[in-house]
Amino acid sequence: MSRKRLAVQEGKFYGRDQRWEAGDVVAPNKHHVRFTWDCRSDTSGRFVIKGSRSRAEDTIRRFRDEVAGMRRLSGADTSGVLPLIDSCSTEDELWYVMPHADMLADELEGADFNDVVGAFATLADTLARLAADSNPVFHRDIKPDNIFWHDGGPVLADFGIAAWADSEWNVTADGDKLGPIYFLAPEARYVREGLDWPKADIYSLAMTFWSIAAPRLVSLTGESTVRVPPPGPVLRSQQQFSMYRFGGGDAAALDVLIERATAYNAEDRPTAAEFRDELRAWLDLYPGRHTPPVLVPSKKGRGFEYLQHVLDQLDRYQRDFLGVIRSECEVAVGPVEWDDTARVDFDPRNEFGFDNQPRLAAVMDEHGRFEHDDWDGSFVLALRDKGEHKRLVVGGIVDHKGTVDLMTEYQERVDGRWKLLVAGTDAALPINRLTTRKKIRGAIAAALDAATTPLTRNDGEREWIGEREWIGERVL
């Protein structure tokens, strides 16, 4: 039988009882995807019918895998994937029908930045579920053209070159070129055995996120298109590519995530679940509308200077951590009267606190004794109320790799001495991750819950004093 008969043809009827009538192509470059009408009188809606892209044997086998895979995903009612409505995979016919959906880029054009973040959090969740399935699926072709808006949410579509775990053959051989070059992870530009496809998909998703979040390009004819993403990795030091331009200062908090997700080495990228959690954390931390700022070039022609530029890596991470714990402490207790010691370059050795106790004496063990060894070299802030009866201690050990071992304590003054009521630790948290900020916020809240009298957040007068502590050997 000629493979030409497998092509979807205009005017031909397909399916049981000649249900589907194929119409014109949906786009000039997609001859294998056509509009179709449901000829049953009791149905309504828009649909498309898709056939094999070419007559080549490998292409046909790949499309049969796609039909089988889409049947399985649709049968399992997999949310986040454009569903299959009807299909046929026989010697004489090879096609499937899906809803006609609007492209996500069109749906989000002119939308608030928060809407874009929410959509990609949903897409990342879809990727996480597909990868965790008993028969995992890796899309391998994520780009704006393959993401749509259907039934009130974003969905993945066009699994034509996906890797199906239950396939009986390799859809691509070692050395094959694969996917859209502007959105494709560096290691995936030539297929090889053992490639980490989940991490490659995250690279593509991050680049697609950048493209759809960015303001559209408008041609001379007035046509609007998404932007081509910058070459990866998208470094946060490259201010012209920062999310700041798409949603202001709050949006710039996602620059760290995009930098990591587009890292050259796949092992440095977050998982789909981590990418999802970071976006959801951002939505929790920065509610409200975030529209693009009006950009005014500086006299030096370098654009906005909103990202702190420091030369020393450890110093930069300490400053970032300091900013996070200061702001989260104020979220918890209200305005804080920070003294001049609450800065990175303050070294409180040989200094004493308000009660003539050494400044290194903020962290305790469970018996109320001051610790020195476990937290030697920690970066710690201590807050005490002006009544000098309550103390919140927040800090940790920061390393040059950008992680922190977090420590939180709540203490109350009993018989002239501080008594430890609760202590918590959390190891190896990535600094600058929004999920880490949420953990810090939660740890502070849990510590304050141990108060013997209710603590209410004060938004008026500054009733807490904050100071820098030092954990380590006291030098006399």
302: which 2 tokens?
A: 């370098």
Given 238, 270, 285, the domain boundary residue is: 285
What CATH number does the domain containing 263 carry?
A: 1.10.510.10
**96 three-state secondary structure:** strand
Q: Are residues 86 and 120 in the same domain?
A: no
Q: What is the pLDDT of residue 300?
A: 44
AA identity, residue 264? Y
Task: Name the stretches of the chain with pLDDT < 70.
Answer: 1-5, 41-43, 166-180, 295-312, 347-361, 366-377, 470-476
Structural domain contains residue 475: no
**Pure H helices in 76-196:** 104-107, 113-132
Given 38, 66, 99, the domain boundary residue is: 99
Structural domain contains residue 134: yes
Q: Are residues 15 and 28 in the same domain?
A: yes
Given 239, 267, 285, the domain boundary residue is: 285
Q: Are residues 346 and 390 in the same domain?
A: yes
Q: Are residues 50 and 122 in the same domain?
A: no
CB contact burial 178-207 (16+ within 10 A = b; e otherwise): bbbebbbbbbbeebeeebebbbbbbbbbbb
Kindly write down the DSSP assignment for every residue of 274-298, as one continuous string.
HHHHHHHHHHHHS-S--PPPPP---
Spatial separation of the C-alpha atoms in residues 5 and 7, rounded to whole Å: 5
Predicted model pTM:
0.72
Spatial separation of the C-alpha atoms in residues 142 and 462, rounded to whole Å: 50
Q: Are residues 123 and 243 in the same domain?
A: yes
Structural domain contains residue 159: yes
Q: Are residues 138 and 90 in the same domain?
A: no
Task: Please report how many Cα atoms fall inside a 13 Å half-sphere around the Cα of residue 337, on the Cβ side.
Answer: 9
What single-letter DSSP state applies at residue 303?
-
Structural domain contains residue 297: no
Spatial separation of the C-alpha atoms in residues 285 and 116, rounded to whole Å: 16
Q: What is the pLDDT of residue 348?
A: 59
Q: Are residues 34 and 180 in the same domain?
A: no
What CATH number does the domain containing 50 carry?
A: 3.30.200.20
Q: Are residues 83 and 153 in the same domain?
A: no
Kindly write down the DSSP assignment for every residue of 372-439, as one continuous string.
-STTTT-EEEEEEETTSSEEEEEEEEE-TTSEEEEEEEEEEEETTEEEEEEEEEEEEEETT-HHHHHH
Q: What is the pLDDT of residue 401?
A: 74
**20 three-state secondary structure:** strand
Structural domain contains residue 155: yes
Bridge partner list, 403: 430
**Domains held by the chain: number:** 3
Kindly write down the DSSP assignment for every residue of 75-110, as one continuous string.
HTT-TTBPPP-EEEESSS-EEEEEE--EEHHHHTTT
**273 three-state secondary structure:** helix
Q: Are residues 442 and 355 in the same domain?
A: yes
Q: Are residues 265 and 139 in the same domain?
A: yes
Name residue, tokens 């849990």: 446
Q: What is the pLDDT of residue 303?
A: 39
Q: Are residues 365 and 327 in the same domain?
A: yes
Q: Are residues 150 and 138 in the same domain?
A: yes
Spatial separation of the C-alpha atoms in residues 388 and 391, rounded to whole Å: 8
Structural domain contains residue 296: no
Structural domain contains residue 72: yes
Structural domain contains residue 294: no
Q: What is the pLDDT of residue 399?
A: 80
Residue 48, domain extent? 3-99
Taking the CA atoms of 455, 459, 461 and 465 in sequence, report the sign of the dihedral they define: positive
Q: What is the pLDDT of residue 398?
A: 87
Spatial separation of the C-alpha atoms in residues 27 and 312, rounded to whole Å: 52
